[in-house]
Amino acid sequence: MQEKKHRIVIISPVRDEESYLPDTVRSLINQTVKPVEWVVVDDGSSDRTADIVREAAKEHPWIRLEPKPDRGVRVVGPGVVEAFYFGYERIRSSDYDFICKMDGDIEFGPKYFETLLTFFDRDPYLGAASGKPFQQEEDGSLKEERHNDEMVAGMINFYRKKCFEDIGGFVRQVHWDGIAFHRARMFGWRTRSIRHPDLDFIHERLMGSSHKGIVTGRLRWGRGQYFMGTHPLFVLAIGLYRMFEKPFLVGGICIVAGYVKAMWEGMERYDDPEFRRSLHAWQFERLKLGKRLEKIPAPEEGLYT
């Protein structure tokens, strides 16, 4: 029997995930700590995605399919958050402790949630966390996707309910996950992607490649950085850093190009001066040019190392 403080609700916006969703379903069914609800929002699939969920729900009543009216195309960023909230508004449990937005193209071990919860139990300031994402190479080996330790992996955002409510949930726009973890810090919460063998998970698609390919994804990444309010110096550093991963060179250039194009077009930005001040301070600390504004008590020694 699950302790009340470990009651988990998961929401998964999915569209045409027939090739990947069975692995995600299997991963959840095999968990040592299962959610009280897994709401799968079918965002207009034309393949067997909905059938896969219905079949799983026959044996596991905590799995539920919620069909959403089809908008006609896959829309990443704001479309994903729109589908998330379609599921959020249909949660049946009122008394849960953690909420998770999870993609339908990941695979993880049976102790994922059990292990993750031990970190929340030991760190009262931990507001959101994930494991580390890995890509499976052609030879079967796993390669870690490069991910800052303070950033929660967008494929499996796991939030303490109080933290999620403090930050006002997810912004319905591109780069919603980056805005969420930065806002969490402003409210005194720590966020982490944790390196632990039980928390490693396989992301079955290269990050940012789910809509029109990886180049489009990297351009969108740059637009998201502009919308969020990222400082130009920091986006240049991101572009340089990402040149050394697939698609080599081009990916980093496209991030910077997406940012510049959004700036040239006068794209609307996330309108919160305090958020941008905090974001720039954090980014300048990363560049060794300043210090962050927030002071969150240090975690228990050795907890994340």
Compute, in degrees rounded to 10, the torsion defined by CA atoms 14, 15, 16, 19.
-20
Strand partners, 63: 38
Tell me which residue of 235, 239, 236 sits closest to 253, measured CA to CA.
239
Cα–Cα dist 4/190, whole Å:
22
Q: Give pLDDT, residue 210.
A: 46
Please count the other Cβ atoms lying within 10 Å of the Cβ belonging to residue 214: 18
Percent of the chain with pLDDT over 70: 94
Average the pLDDT over 85-92 and give the result.
97
Measured CA distances, 52 to 19, 73, 92, 229 (Å): 10, 21, 22, 39
Cα–Cα dist 262/173, whole Å:
14
Sorting pLDDT into bands at 50, 70 and 90, what band is 54? very high
Q: What is the overall mean pLDDT for the chain?
A: 92
Supply the CATH classification number for the domain 4-203.
Answer: 3.90.550.10
Average the pLDDT over 195-221 and give the result.
81
Cα–Cα dist 224/83, whole Å:
19
Find out whether the peptide bond into 297 is cis, omega within 30 degrees of 0. Answer: no
Sorting pLDDT into bands at 50, 70 and 90, what band is 133? very high
Quote the tokens at residue 262.
């959004």
Q: Give pLDDT, residue 208.
A: 47
Tell me which residue of 195, 196, 203, 163 sits closest to 182, measured CA to CA.
163
Every domain of the chain and the residues it spans: 4-203, 214-286
Within 8 A by CB and 6+ apart from 301, the residues are none
Cα–Cα dist 87/39, whole Å:
6
